[in-house]
Amino acid sequence: MASGGTEASSNWLAPLDGLRGASILMVLTAHVYSSDWPKLGGRHGVTIFFVLSGFLITRLLVQESRKKGRIDFAAFFVRRSFRLFPLYYFILGVYALLIVGLNMHPNGRQGFVQALPWYAVYLQEVPFFNWNGTSSVPFYQSWSLGIEEKFYLVWPFLAFKLLGAPAHRQLAAALGVLLCSAAHFHHAGRYFFPYAAIFVGCYTALLDSDDAMRARMRAIFSGWGAALSLCGLGCLHVGAILASDLTASIIDVLYPVGAATLLLSSLSDPRLGKVLSRKTLVVLGQLSYGIYLTHLLVRQVVERGFVKVGWAVPPGIVVYAGMLAGSVAVAWVLQRTLEGPLRERGRAIAAGLTSRARTPALPG
């Protein structure tokens, strides 16, 4: 496919993989527990992931609906399951072996054991939010996967089964953005606010699926529009770092919108699209799921290694570099031995389900 402002000839969009790669670099900065690294605002890397998830899944569903006239939900869930579950449960098993079996993290053992039932049934966000987002519970970073799984279960049925008309889908996504954003200002709403970013991605994809609207957005978000979107997101990012209390909450609500404008700019502006399509960022994006699941384990290995050689408090940049290099290497191996083959297996099973559904029954 051509990078930049042209439409993709397939479902793969290199600039969005590059944006995902930049997002995982942000996430890792939030998990360098030394000096002021967490203040770099890396937690909003997850926000960008949420926007991308809503956009890409909705885009794929719109394309399938137009091509086939319906959504094959069985095939969709098979593909999602083989894409997400095998690697997740493998890494969860590694955590359980190290913490419960080998007692290699005694300080985190009790919290992990208490959270394990939630982890096992893909409700990772429950212990995370119940314990106020504590980082003392191993594998806490998986909370965002629980959020996305609920989206995968509900949104396809809601938008493409119950709400057939495109205008109704747009209204549902817009209401999702408003209601989930409002939830951010109430303590109990912490379970719902992350869906605001996903709904922003959904709404963006639905607008982009309209030919006339897509043409207008491509014109708006190229050139100076792309520059302004970069500046706007940069200002939001700095504001999220410096602000506190109510102002920070407002910025949190606006950040997904800024991320969506950057997403559109990456598809509209050839120069930005070219930057985000660079091989390094694209590869990081393709490995981002494995990096996300494993980087905290890798960080533990890196820090323990430094302690053994007498460097008890290494600089944050050294920890970051070791965590990034190690998690990329681990994710690369896992992609070729587990994640990639099982993803292809899921696609083959889904294709078989679709083929059988299309085959007319023979007369008796």
Q: What distances in angstroms separate CA 17 from CA 30, 295, 320, one per listed residue?
A: 21, 19, 21
* CA–CA separation, 145 and 148 (whole Å): 5
Name the pTM for this structure: 0.92
Mean pLDDT of all residues belonging to the chain: 89
pLDDT digits (tens, 9 = 90+) for 25-34: 999 998 887 7
pLDDT bracket for residue 1 (50, 70, 90): very low
Q: What is the pLDDT of residue 134?
A: 57
> What contacts 24+ positions apart, CB below 8 Å, involve 5-11?
5/218, 5/222, 5/267, 5/268, 5/269, 5/270, 5/273, 11/59, 11/60, 11/63
pLDDT digits (tens, 9 = 90+) for 75-120: 999 999 999 999 999 999 999 999 999 988 888 899 999 999 999 9
pLDDT digits (tens, 9 = 90+) for 221-280: 999 999 999 999 999 999 988 887 778 889 999 999 999 999 999 999 999 999 999 999
Is the per-residue pLDDT at 8 higher than 50? Answer: no
Q: What is the pLDDT of residue 303?
A: 87
Task: Please give the residue that has the higher pLDDT: either 287 or 308.
Answer: 287
Radius of gyration of the chain (CA): 21
